[in-house]
Chain A
């Protein structure tokens, strides 16, 4: 209850500022994220991010019931260059056959919207703003034909949806009283570290009328960070530590047994 109370207060304060400073025709969109830093360390099993905020008409009033805005939130992880390989049956075995490379595949992509995307807006708008798993801009490398490209893009989406790294929830945004919206986005434990961006779009009659971004840092800390850094920067010492660890554990167990 107190958390929710604080939330409302914060939004109210922010709304006040916005109402005073903006005098344009755009609606007022005030997005917020439950946490701006996700710490990956021992015991991390994933996190739930709450993307919430408020949307008001340009004059600072609440939208009427039948003219309320549609809200889409997108949480995107750092983009990576990847190669995607497809297994085919060759000589009775499933081995990697064709492949395609993409320069900018998001490592994480979660979209939540207040209504089905098809009802909210048209394909052109979705393509422009990368709204939906069908419209990810993956930037294929090398000349592969459109059909092949679509096939691999679909494969990537299918694979990452299965592992929880991509998701699209078309009823994931709840809007209360045409003002406050919120969406819960789960991060699985296999997310990579880096800068994530949370984008919020307010749409009216299929047009994006307001958008805002905020940053979320996903970072390893403490022991987990040291392990990762060490293994990359000082592989000799890291390897030696692993060897010493295993030799000493084996030796100690042997000694304990000999005495017991």
Chain B
């Protein structure tokens, strides 16, 4: 099924794009992440221009997080107060991301920068996740016994920030600058990499901010939903790279995949899920690293003046 993408300016096999969306949707249903980290690189490997890939993947992540966010809202799993601060930071972050995007494009290093970001961000997250998942998976009880249950509220750096607010649902009395900065960082990455940032947000909210676990997933979905909306708007306004046809195809796959994934997730051991996710993240990071260090097939790139 050939589909012509009017913004990417080329013809693709629509079924492959829907399937690709389906795979990322499956992941998002299983792991509660948006799957943007998988969509963007796969679209680039398929031959979609990197900017169009990142912009349209962000649009897809919006759709992938809607039903999760609604579900979390119903069960009271969203702290709107801290969520709003993070979204505010996210919007500032997308603005900074847009400036960086233009700067790097002008320098001619945008594609290299995106690849390096992928290697660094996914590589470190993947290693951390794998280090946690492997003992859990293979050393089951042994690891649990060995772990000393140190309960730390939040990172000392967070406690040192000025100005303190009460966030009741998260059970926190911290500076709003901490979630604002976190939101900003993730917003910037969303703009540059086309990722929602769920796999960064959840651990950061748990271990850095010290939010109570029952609002972490809901609030991260809330943040992702609105930050990716802001990213879509920012791309539409600055890079003109949002391809609605591409986004619609990805969405078609991902929203259905997400529902299947959610069913899968309840049947599989959570340690195994985390392990598979860690391996996937590492695979993408390694593939990107290989792309950077091996002689590329195409030495030349053409950009309009």
Contact of B102 with A by CB under 8 A = no
Closest residue of A by beta carbon distance from B256: A253
Selected from A94, A158, A160, A227, the residue in CB contact (under 8 A) with B296 is: A94
Q: How far is the CB of A84 from chain B (nearest CB, A)?
A: 6
Selected from A101, A152, A192, A250, the residue in CB contact (under 8 A) with B63 is: A250
Selected from A192, A239, A254, A255, the residue in CB contact (under 8 A) with B242 is: A239
Q: Once the chains bind, are A235 and B236 in contact (CB under 8 Å)?
A: yes
Selected from B4, B247, B262, B293, the residue in CB contact (under 8 A) with A246 is: B247
CA–CA, A89 and B251, complex, Å:
38
* Contact flag A250-B2 (CB < 8 Å), given A86-B300, A155-B299, A243-B233: no
Q: Once the chains bind, are B109 and A239 in contact (CB under 8 Å)?
A: no
Q: Once the chains bind, are A93 and B233 in contact (CB under 8 Å)?
A: no
Selected from A81, A228, A231, A257, the residue in CB contact (under 8 A) with B236 is: A231
Report B-chain residues with C-beta under 8 Å of the C-beta of A2: none
CA–CA, A141 and B305, complex, Å:
11
Q: How far is the CB of A30 from chain B (nearest CB, A)?
A: 34
One digit per residue, 1 when the CB lies within 8 angstroms of any chain A CB and 0 when it does not, for chain B 270-283 equals 00000000000000
CA–CA, A71 and B298, complex, Å:
34
Q: Once the chains bind, are B64 and A250 in contact (CB under 8 Å)?
A: yes
Q: Once the chains bind, are B233 and A85 in contact (CB under 8 Å)?
A: no
Closest residue of A by beta carbon distance from B244: A242
Selected from A84, A101, A249, the residue in CB contact (under 8 A) with B300 is: A84
Report A-chain residues with C-beta under 8 Å of the C-beta of B233: 236, 239-240, 243
CA–CA, A80 and B237, complex, Å:
23
Binding site for A on B (CB under 8 A): 2-4, 6-7, 9-11, 59-60, 62-67, 70-71, 108-109, 111-112, 116, 229, 232-233, 235-237, 240, 242, 244-245, 247-248, 251-252, 255-256, 258-259, 262, 292-296, 298-305
Task: Knowing that A94-B295, A246-B63, A246-B251 touch, tell me 19 more A-B residue pairs with CB under 8 angstroms.
Answer: A82-B302, A84-B301, A85-B108, A85-B300, A86-B299, A155-B299, A156-B300, A190-B11, A236-B237, A239-B233, A239-B235, A243-B233, A245-B247, A246-B66, A246-B232, A249-B252, A250-B67, A253-B63, A254-B71
Binding site for B on A (CB under 8 A): 40-46, 80-87, 89, 92-96, 99, 101, 105, 141, 152, 155-156, 158-160, 162, 189-190, 192, 220, 223-225, 227-228, 231-232, 235-236, 238-243, 245-247, 249-257
